[in-house]
Amino acid sequence: MKSRPHALRDIATRQFDVCVIGAGASGAGCALDAQCRGFQTALVDAGDFASATSSASTKLAHGGVRYLQQAVAEFDFGQLKVVREALRERILMLENAPHLVHSLDFVVPCFSSFDLLYFGTGMKIYDWLAGNASLGGSRILSKQEALHLVPTLRTDRLAGGVSYRDGQFDDARLAVTLVKTFADSAGEVVNYLRVVDLEKDSTGKLVATIAEDVFSEQKITIRARAFVNAAGPFSDEVRLMAAPALPRRLVRSKGAHILLPLEEGVNDALLIPKTEDGRVIFAIPWQGRLLVGTTDQEVPTAEEPMVTQEDAAYLLRHLNRYTARHYAHDEIVSAFAGVRPLVQPDHSRQTKKLVREHEVEIDEHSGLVSILGGKWTTYRVMAEHTIDAVAKTLGRANTRTNSQHLPLAGATGYTAEYWRTLVREYDVTEATGRHLAEKFGMESAHVLELTKENTVLKSPIVAGSPSICAEIIYCARHEMAVTIEDVLARRIGLQYFDWRLAMQAASVVASHLARELGWSDQQRNEAIHDYVGRIERWLAAIGLQTG
Ligand SMILES: Cc1cc2nc3c(=O)[nH]c(=O)nc-3n(C[C@H](O)[C@H](O)[C@H](O)COP(=O)(O)OP(=O)(O)OC[C@H]3O[C@@H](n4cnc5c(N)ncnc54)[C@H](O)[C@@H]3O)c2cc1C
């Protein structure tokens, strides 16, 4: 990927076929699809790549057991179609990014024979819907088997469980990797470039976006023949920029997650099948933590949501009903929340009932193509449908996507044992080898090559984390990381692992970024101050102490 100043200059001077607004799962997927079909494509985001919903998901590459439940209970074949499509996409995600997506076993605890039969049958339908895209069949577990798989489960009244297999992935890294794959295919991309206006010709057709550099406040014009609105929960704002009379289409729903210490021996995820508000919650081993989520609450705006004390209490209350071990509020190590962009159907405003199906909307007058709704798991097929629509508007309807079988950056040649090569060839610890392989795949070697020039870069960013300083340099040079949070959250994940550890790491990250990006001492100090201040606000919102 080019440096940001270089990319900023180039994006303002070229004429593109397609300009994609928003670099979350939907936008990054659309940009890659368009570029790979031969369209000269530009991709911009108002923040960092995946800094909105796409780094705040439950990280499941799944058909959605919850949607299956709804489909069966309400004879809703639309939902069944969504589940089936996602199950097909799940396996493509696994094949195209094996370093970032893997299968994971889940256990549904059951407290009666009826539950065993109900969930056992439900999971058989899930298996059947997956067909030959199945990751492994479900089965009914005895009480002992359920406890063996999830040793923290409470034992009283437990009748057994149902196990099934689904997909888990690193959402932020997958989005960054999609963007990187796009840039490697000669796509032009810039982060922190907010579209503030759209320019039209005399017939009302869009011809350019006016975008503002968030750091310098300088405005640039990006010229293209087609425009894709992939602004996720902000899509209505972009639609209204193109055509102010359009009705709003999105309902926005906040979903919160908390992260807790992961107990020894817990390898399987727990599906909590029933909440007070008739939903399901997951407690999932994820990168050394127990990830618990999510809530579902309609919100008026898509602006950065915070996890509150009430959100955390709701999640802990439900988790503790199912576990023998009591999880306390002050054990929370980090948290995050995202806003679901749900397409509003006419009949319901209950957010937990809205389908996660996507819709491609074409505004005939301005030509804006909006991709609305959807799920992370279906990002590829959403992109395919969107770029099919774009291709039609560009008079190139005969183009076909190759994204079903397109290995993403770092995927080619990757195996689950690749970390051993890193340990052997670069003399790093097992924890660092595994961490690098799981974040960067085959590109880890490029990260570690930096340590040959400067062995200091092999040192940990902060004690207690497997991340090393070379990652900061690599992310600044090759992944357009330009803030402390870009590095610690979306590139290497330390912020999700532990907020307080991330605060400690901030000054080291800032020092390396300062050298790479030419910051003054004042800019470096301000960056640390801003970052630490953000985490302090999140800690306060959830009711935790800083120290
Ligand atoms: C709590 C929660 C849990 C979820 N769990 C799962 C799950 O386990 N599995 C699954 O498959 N799906 C899950 N989803 C759904 C999935 O995360 C979303 O469908 C997906 O991330 C949406 O991606 P997006 O690209 O459409 O939106 P976003 O990721 O929000 O991206 C939109 C981007 O547009 C940018 N933008 C906005 N306005 C402008 C502008 N004017 N100019 C430039 N850029 C702009 C934003 O900065 C943002 O980066 C979950 C969602 C939530 C909220």
192-224: per-residue pLDDT in tens?
999 999 999 999 999 999 999 999 999 999 999
Which residue from 359, 381, 481 is spatially nearest to 29, judged by alpha carbons?
Answer: 381
Provide the mean pLDDT of the chain.
Answer: 94
Q: What is the pLDDT of residues 32-50, one digit of tens each?
A: 999 999 999 999 999 999 9
Give residue 278's pLDDT: 86
pLDDT of residue 348: 44
Q: Give the other-Cβ count within 10 Å of 416's Cβ.
A: 12
Q: Is 428 in the pocket of ligand 1 (CB under 6 A)?
A: no
Q: Is residue 338 over pLDDT 80? A: yes
- Ligand 1 centre to CA of 320 (Å) is 29
Q: Which of 166, 234, 299, when mutated, tests ligand 1's pocket best, judged by the most ligand atoms within 8 Å of its CB?
A: 234
pLDDT at 273 over 50: yes
* CA of residue 309 to ligand 1 center, whole Å: 23
194 lines ligand 1 (CB under 6 A): yes
Residue 382 CA to ligand 1 center (angstroms) comes to: 13
Q: Rounded to the nearest whole angstrom, what is the distance from the C-alpha of residue 47 to the centroid of ligand 1?
A: 12
**Residue 458 per-residue DSSP state:** G
User: Using an 8 Å Cβ cutoff, are 19 and 222 in contact?
Assistant: yes
What does the pLDDT look like over 37-85, one tens digit per residue? 999 999 999 999 999 999 999 999 998 887 787 777 777 777 788 889 9
Q: Identify the band that residue 357 occupies on the pLDDT scale cut at 50, 70 and 90.
A: confident
Query: From the CB of 88, is ligand 1 less than 6 Å away?
Result: no
CA distances from 161 to 149, 158, 275, 281, 388 (A): 10, 8, 17, 16, 44
| Average pLDDT estimate for 307-322 | 97
Q: Is 210 helix (H, G, I), strand (E, B) or coil?
A: strand
* Residue 456 in tokens: 């200091």
Cβ-based neighbour number of residue 182 at 10 Å: 29
Q: What distance in angstroms lies between residue 226's CA and the mean position of ligand 1's atoms?
A: 22
Residue nearest to atom 31 of ligand 1 (CA): 24
Looking at 45-145, which runs of residues are DSSP E strands?
60-61, 101-110, 139-141
- Distance between CA atoms of 481 and 478, rounded to whole angstroms? 8
